[in-house]
Structure 1
Amino acid sequence: MKDLTEGKPIKVIWLYALPMILGQIAQQLYNFCDSAIVGNCINPEALAAVGATSVISNTLIGFLNSATLGLSIPIARYFGAQDKKNMRKCIGVSAILTLVSAIVLTIVGLLFIYDLLVLLDTPEKIIHMADNYVKYILAGLIFSAVYNFGANLLRAVGDSKTPLIFLSISVVLNIGLDLLFIQVFQSGVAGAAIATVISQAVAGIACFIYIFTKCRFLIPEKDEFRVARADFNDLVQSALAMGFMSCIVNFGTVTLQSSINKLGTNIITAHTAARKIFDILDVVLYIIGNAVTTFVSQNLGAKRIDRVKTGVRAGIIINTIATTIIILIGFPASPLLIRLIAGTNDPAVIDPAVMYIRISVCCFYVLGPLFVLRCAMQGMGRKIVPVLSSTMEMVGKILAVLFLAPALGYLGVAITEPIIWAACTLMLTIMYLSNPPEKMFASISRSSSAYEHD
C-alpha cells in the first residue's frame, strides 16, 4: 500500500502510474497479438468481424472498468483520511454494486447484441462471425468486472504493482490460449473470445485470493456492508459519472463505427488495425489521468489542497513529455505495425490506417491534458463537468457521421476525434480555472462529504 499524500507530486504520480502503464501496455500488446493471430491465422475478414464488435464490447467493459474506478474514489478519500472503518463499508457496498451491474449488463448484452450489429450496418459476410465472437465475450463479462474491481480497489490504497502481476499472467495465458484454440483446435473467432474469457477469470480470481490473504484490512466485516446515505450517494454518483463518461464516449464511437462499416471491409480492417495501434500509443496519457484521480482523492481526504493543484499540473507535464516521445515513435513505426496486425500489404488497408495514426498522435498534445483535467475533476467530486465533456465527444461523433464522413470518407473519420479533443480540453480548462480545488474543498466540507462525518 502507498500513501500518495507525501513526496514530490510529479515523482509520486509517475511511480504510482508506471506499473499501471506497463500493465496496460501488456494488455494492448496482447490485443495487438490477438489481432495479428486472428488476421494471419484465420483471415482478414475474421479481423474485421472482431473489429466490428470491439466498440460494443469496449463500451460494456469500459463502463464496468470506469464504474469500479469511480467506486474507488470515495475509498481512496477515506484511505487518505485514515478512516479504515468507513473505507471498508464503502468497499462492501461497492462489491455488491459491481456484481449487480455485471449481471444486468451481461443479460442485456446477450439479448440485444445481434440486433445492434444489424443496426450498425455490419456487413453480411462478417456479421455471423461477429455475433459469435462477441457473445462469448459478453458471457464472461462478470470475470472482467471481478478483476477490474479488485485491481481498482488495490490502486485506491496505493498498490498499483500487484494488479500488474496478475494482468501480466493473464496476458501471457491469453496469447497461449489464442494459439491453442485457433491453430490447434481450429475454433475460429470463438476460440479467441474463449481464450480472453478464461484469462480474465484467472486474473480476477487471483486478484481476490491476494486481497483475502494479504490485505485483510480491506475485507469488510459482517456489519460493514451498509453505509451512510451520503456515502451511498457518493459511491453511486461517482460510479455512474465515471461509467457513463466512458459509455457516452464509446456510444459516440459505436455511432462512428456505423459510418466506418458503410465504407467497406477494407476500411473496417484498416480502422481495426489502426485503433489497436492507437490504444497502445495513448496508454501513458490515459493512465496518468487515472493516477491523478487517485492522487487527488487521497490528498483531498487528507485535506492537502496544495498537493491537489500541484498534482494536476504534474499530470499535464508528464503527458506533454510523453506525447513528444509518442510522436517520434508513432510516425516511422506505424506502417510496419499496421502490416503486422492486418496480415496484408494491401495499400487499401495500410494507407488509411497509417493516415489515421499519424493524424491522431499529432493531436495528443490536447488529449493528454483532457485526460488529466477530466480525471482530476472526478477525484475532486466534480461529477457533472467530466460527463458534459464526454457528451460533447458523443455529439461531435454523431455530427461526424452526418456530415464529415459522407463528405470526406475515412479522412472525415480520422479528423473527428482530434477536433473533439481540442474543444473538450478548452471547456475543461475553463471550468477548472473558474472553480479551483480550494473552492471545491470548501463546498464539499460544508456538505459533509465522504471524508468528514459526525
Structure 2
Amino acid sequence: MNNQLTKGSITKSLLLFSLPMILGNLLQQFYNIADTFIVGQYLGSNALAAVGSSFTIMTFLTSIILGLCMGSGILFSMLFGAKQHDKMKTAFFVSFIGIAIMAIILQLLCLLFIHPILSFLNIPSDIYQQTYDYLFIIFWGFFFSFLYNYFSSVLRALGNSRIPLLFLAIATLINIVLDIFFIVQMHLGVSGAAIATIIAQAMSGTGIMLYVCLTQKELLPQKHHCYFDRDIFMKIRDYSLLTCIQQSVMNFGILMIQGLVNSFGVITMSAFAAAVKIDSFAYMPVQDFGNAFSTFIAQNKGAHLEDRIQKGLKSAIVISTIFCLMISCGVFVFAKELMMIFIHPQEVQIIQQGIQYLQIEGICYLGIGCLFLLYGYYRGVGKPGISVILTVISLGTRVLLAYLFAPTLGTLVIWWAIPIGWFLADITGILYGIKKEKWFQTQQIEKNKIMEGENI
C-alpha cells in the first residue's frame, strides 16, 4: 500500500512510516550480530577480524549504490507528492538503467582489484587469506544488493515501507540458517559465511523485484515512459550523485578508520569489529528515522506544504532526542555485557577495548541523532549538497584527529574523534538552517501560483 505523507497527524505519519524501516534495519543488524557471534564463537578471533574488516569495505561499496537509490527516491517522493505520475515512471526507467550499469561496473572493478583493496585496508598477513576468501565470494553478490536497495527505495519513496521489511526479514532468517549450516555443519569457514550472505541477498533482491513487477504494475513504466528525458536525467543526477557522495564519503571515512585500527593488531581489530556492530545496532533506528523523515519532507515539498514541513521538523527533533537519550543510557551501562555476547570472557583485552569504545560513543548519541535528521532534512528539501558538506566535516574531523594523534596517543583518540566530528557537523548544519532555511519561522504558503512541476 502506497501512503501519502502529506495528510493527517504528522507525528503519527512519521512513526508509522519509519517503524517498518527501523525494524528492517534492526533485523539487518541482528543478522550482522548473529553473523559476528557465529564467526567469533566457532571460527575464532582471526576469522572475526577478517569478517569485520570485510564488513567495512562492503558497507562502503553498498553505500555508493544506496546513495544513488536514495537520491532517486527523493525525486520519486517529490513527483508522487505533486501527483506527476507519468514523470515519476519515466524517472523510474532512467534511474534503474543508470544505477544498474553503475552496479555492474562497480562489481567488476572490485573483483579485478581485490588485492589492492586488501592492501589499502592494511590487512595483517595472518588473516589476509581469510579476508580474501570472504570478500571474493561477497563481491559476486553485489548486484543483488543493488536490486534490493533500488526497489526498496522506490516503494519507500511512495510511502510503502512494509514490503521491504518483509523481504529483509525473510532474507535475514535464511542468512542465519545458512550461516549455521555452512559454518557449523559443513565447516566451510569464512567462505561459508560469504556464501550464506550472497544467497540471502539474491533471494531478497530478486524477490522484491518480482513483487513490484507482479503486484505493483501501476508503478511500472509503460512503453511510452521508456525514453531518455534529459531534464529528468539531470534531476536524478543532481539528487543521486550528491546523495551518493554523501553516503560514500561517510563510509569512506569509516573505511580509513578501519585501516588505522588494523595497524594496531588483531586484538584491536576484533574489539572494533564487535563494538562497531553493537554501535551500529544502537543508533540504526535513528538513522532510519532520518531517512523516513527525508521522504516525509520530500513528499510535502512536492505538495508545497511548507508549514507541514516546519511542524514535522519540530516533531522529528523531539522523537529523535527521546530515543537517543534512552539508547545512550543502555549502551553505557551494559557495555561489558554487550561485548561478551561476541567475545569469550577470557579475552579480557578485547573486551576492555570494546567497552572503552562503546562508553565513549554511547554518551554522545544525541550528536549522531541530530546529524541524521539534518541529512534527511536537506535531502528532502532538495539540497543534498549540504548533506555532503556536513558529512565531510564529520568524517574529515574524525579521520584528521585519528591519523594525527592515534599513532602516539593510542586508540582512545580514534574513539573520541568520532563524536567530535558529529557535533561539529551538527553545529554547522543548525547554523545554516537557522540562517538560510529560516527554521521555526512562519512561512506563507504559496497560493494560486503552483504550476505543475514547480520546485521539483
User: Mean Cα displacement is larger for which, 400-409 or 90-99?
Assistant: 400-409
TM-superposed CA distance for 1:344, in Å, is 4.6
Match of residue 453 from structure 2: 451
Match of residue 39 from structure 1: 40
Match of residue 329 from structure 2: 328
User: Compared with structure 1, are the counterparts of its residues 433 and 453 closer, same or farther at alpha carbon in structure 2 (3 Å cutoff)?
Assistant: closer
SS state of the match for residue 342, structure 1? Answer: coil
Work out the CA distance in 2 between the residues paired with 1:217 and 1:240. 27
TM-superposed CA distance for 1:319, in Å, is 1.0
Unaligned 5+ runs, structure 2: none
Match of residue 75 from structure 1: 76
TM-superposed CA distance for 1:395, in Å, is 1.9
TM-superposed CA distance for 1:141, in Å, is 0.5
User: Compared with structure 1, are the counterparts of its residues 396 and 113 closer, same or farther at alpha carbon in structure 2 (3 Å cutoff)?
Assistant: farther
Match of residue 90 from structure 1: 91
Work out the CA distance in 2 between the residues paired with 1:180 and 1:373. 42
Note the alpha carbon deviations across 1:270-290, whole angstroms, 9 max, x for none: 000000001100111101110
1:245-394 alignment, distance < 5 Å: 245-394=246-395
TM-superposed CA distance for 1:112, in Å, is 1.6
1:189-268 alignment, distance < 5 Å: 189-226=190-227, 228-268=229-269
- Letter matched to residue 68 of structure 1: C
The answer to whether structure 1 residue 11 and structure 2 residue 35 are counterparts is: no
User: Mean Cα displacement is larger for which, 84-93 or 309-318?
Assistant: 309-318
CA contact (8 A) 2:396 2:421 kept: no
User: Compared with structure 1, are the counterparts of its residues 404 and 10 closer, same or farther at alpha carbon in structure 2 (3 Å cutoff)?
Assistant: farther
Match of residue 101 from structure 1: 102
CA contact (8 A) 2:329 2:363 kept: no
Note the alpha carbon deviations across 1:82-111, whole angstroms, 9 max, x for none: 111111111111111221111011011112
TM-superposed CA distance for 1:342, in Å, is 2.7
- Letter matched to residue 8 of structure 1: S
Match of residue 120 from structure 2: 119
TM-superposed CA distance for 1:337, in Å, is 2.0
TM-superposed CA distance for 1:453, in Å, is 9.0
User: Mean Cα displacement is larger for which, 344-353 or 17-26?
Assistant: 344-353
**TM-score, reference length from structure 2:** 0.95
Work out the CA distance in 2 between the residues paired with 1:242 and 1:19. 22
Note the alpha carbon deviations across 1:417-444, whole angstroms, 9 max, x for none: 10000000000111112221799x99x9
TM-superposed CA distance for 1:357, in Å, is 1.0
TM-superposed CA distance for 1:451, in Å, is 3.4
The answer to whether structure 1 residue 411 and structure 2 residue 412 are counterparts is: yes
CA contact (8 A) 2:302 2:455 kept: no
Note the alpha carbon deviations across 1:5-40, whole angstroms, 9 max, x for none: 011222211110001101111110100000000111
Unaligned 5+ runs, structure 1: none
Match of residue 182 from structure 2: 181
Work out the CA distance in 2 between the residues paired with 1:374 and 1:431. 13
User: Compared with structure 1, are the counterparts of its residues 113 and 312 closer, same or farther at alpha carbon in structure 2 (3 Å cutoff)?
Assistant: farther
Work out the CA distance in 1 between the residues paired with 2:238 and 2:343. 41
Work out the CA distance in 2 between the residues paired with 1:226 and 1:259. 47
- Letter matched to residue 105 of structure 2: V
TM-superposed CA distance for 1:449, in Å, is 10
User: Mean Cα displacement is larger for which, 20-29 or 400-409?
Assistant: 400-409
CA contact (8 A) 2:328 2:364 kept: no
The answer to whether structure 1 residue 139 and structure 2 residue 140 are counterparts is: yes
SS state of the match for residue 183, structure 2? Answer: helix
Match of residue 166 from structure 1: 167
User: Mean Cα displacement is larger for which, 204-213 or 267-276?
Assistant: 204-213
CA contact (8 A) 1:44 1:343 kept: no
Note the alpha carbon deviations across 1:369-393, whole angstroms, 9 max, x for none: 1111111101111121111111123
Match of residue 66 from structure 1: 67
User: Mean Cα displacement is larger for which, 259-268 or 329-338?
Assistant: 329-338
Work out the CA distance in 2 between the residues paired with 1:50 and 1:449. 53
CA contact (8 A) 2:175 2:197 kept: yes
Work out the CA distance in 1 between the residues paired with 2:267 and 2:306. 51
Work out the CA distance in 2 between the residues paired with 1:142 and 1:367. 30
Work out the CA distance in 2 between the residues paired with 1:379 and 1:410. 37
- Letter matched to residue 396 of structure 2: V
- Letter matched to residue 265 of structure 2: G
SS state of the match for residue 8, structure 2? Answer: coil
User: Mean Cα displacement is larger for which, 407-416 or 269-278?
Assistant: 407-416
Work out the CA distance in 2 between the residues paired with 1:108 and 1:18. 36
- Letter matched to residue 256 of structure 2: T
User: Mean Cα displacement is larger for which, 198-207 or 401-410?
Assistant: 401-410
- Letter matched to residue 141 of structure 1: F
CA contact (8 A) 2:53 2:131 kept: yes
User: Compared with structure 1, are the counterparts of its residues 83 and 151 closer, same or farther at alpha carbon in structure 2 (3 Å cutoff)?
Assistant: same
TM-superposed CA distance for 1:317, in Å, is 1.3
Identity %: 31
Work out the CA distance in 1 between the residues paired with 2:199 and 2:369. 33
SS state of the match for residue 341, structure 1? Answer: coil
Cα RMSD of the aligned pairs, angstroms, is 2.1
Work out the CA distance in 1 between the residues paired with 2:393 and 2:175. 36
- Letter matched to residue 139 of structure 1: W
Work out the CA distance in 2 between the residues paired with 1:449 and 1:145. 35
CA contact (8 A) 2:395 2:421 kept: no
Work out the CA distance in 2 between the residues paired with 1:6 and 1:401. 46
Note the alpha carbon deviations across 1:197-220, whole angstroms, 9 max, x for none: 110111111111211222111100
TM-superposed CA distance for 1:311, in Å, is 1.6
Equivalent residue pairs, number? 450
**TM-score, reference length from structure 1:** 0.95
TM-superposed CA distance for 1:227, in Å, is 5.2
- Letter matched to residue 143 of structure 1: F
- Letter matched to residue 453 of structure 2: Y
